[in-house]
Chain A
């Protein structure tokens, strides 16, 4: 019994180590989300999308979408090409390691979400939220919304879904 208790204690130490790492990850994720909250506010003085050619909005959004897709494809390999199967065994430890991989994913997805939210605001600037008219919102409101939309989604760890197809 003493041996069994000793083994459990040792295993517990490994799990504690992993949990401490989780705290470090949370701290980094928080700082990234804070940074991205303002990174794509191009201008707060009403110049957010000034000078844009509405006919080119689709190609800019397309390029952003392709870029985001490429980043997501590479991120997806964390789940398909890196396996702990032959590295470490122990349900608690491997589960915790998987959580850290998710944490890395969260950092990147926060970035992706900020860009997609920005892209949607570009569309809304040019064509309106309903696609029937542009420049209906004030620049300051657009800037505020970009930050709000992206950071809100980052907190929930979901990737921002574009609202418009164009």
Chain B
């Protein structure tokens, strides 16, 4: 039977693919989009003079790095827990044979 027909269980390859997809989206694509503030910085510097715009840019850069770190943190925690769930379900699968 194909995994798609199961009601409860885990697919090792499917789980790894899911984790890889999340890593690509969050750690690469979203992080890259967050880091890409050049256009904002250029617009700010073109229309705003003095210390305030530089402070805004500094805050923006600090905030975006903070967000990326938090997203990484969440992603790593999530990945660890997903693998824990996977192990738990696989153990259940293996132990069922023994129990019966």
Please tell me if the beta carbons of B25 and A10 are within 8 angstroms of each other in the complex. no
Indicate with 1 or 0, residue by residue over B33-53, a CB within 8 angstroms of chain A CB atoms: 110110110111011111111
Contacts of A70 in B (CB 8 A): 33, 36
Query: Does A1 have its Cβ within 8 Å of any Cβ on chain B?
Result: no
Report the number of A-B residue pairs with Cβ-Cβ less than 8 Å: 189
A10 in contact with B92 (CB, 8 Å) = yes
Secondary structure dominating the interface of A: helix
Q: Which of A7, A17, A108 contacts B81 (CB 8 A)?
A: A17
Q: Is the CB of B11 within 8 A of A88?
A: yes
Cβ-defined contact, A53 with B71, below 8 A? no
* Residue from B25, B33, B47, B78 within 8 A of A52 (CB atoms): B47
In contact, A63 and B48 (Cβ under 8 angstroms): no
Report the minimum CB–CB distance from B99 to chain A (whole Å): 6
Are B50 and A90 in contact, CB atoms less than 8 angstroms apart? no
**Inter-subunit contact A75/B30 (CB<8 Å):** yes
- Is the pair A108, B8 in contact by a Cβ cutoff of 8 Å? no
Q: Are B30 and A82 in contact (CB under 8 A)?
A: no
* Residues 48-63 (chain A) with a chain B CB within 8 angstroms: 48-53, 55-57, 59-60, 62-63
Q: Which of B49-100 contact A (CB under 8 A)?
A: 49-53, 55-56, 59-60, 62-64, 66-67, 70-71, 73-75, 77-78, 81-82, 84-86, 88-89, 91-92, 95-96, 99-100
Please name the 5 residue pairs, one residue from A and one from B, whose CB atoms are nearest each other, closest first. Answer: A56-B47, A86-B14, A51-B50, A63-B43, A87-B18
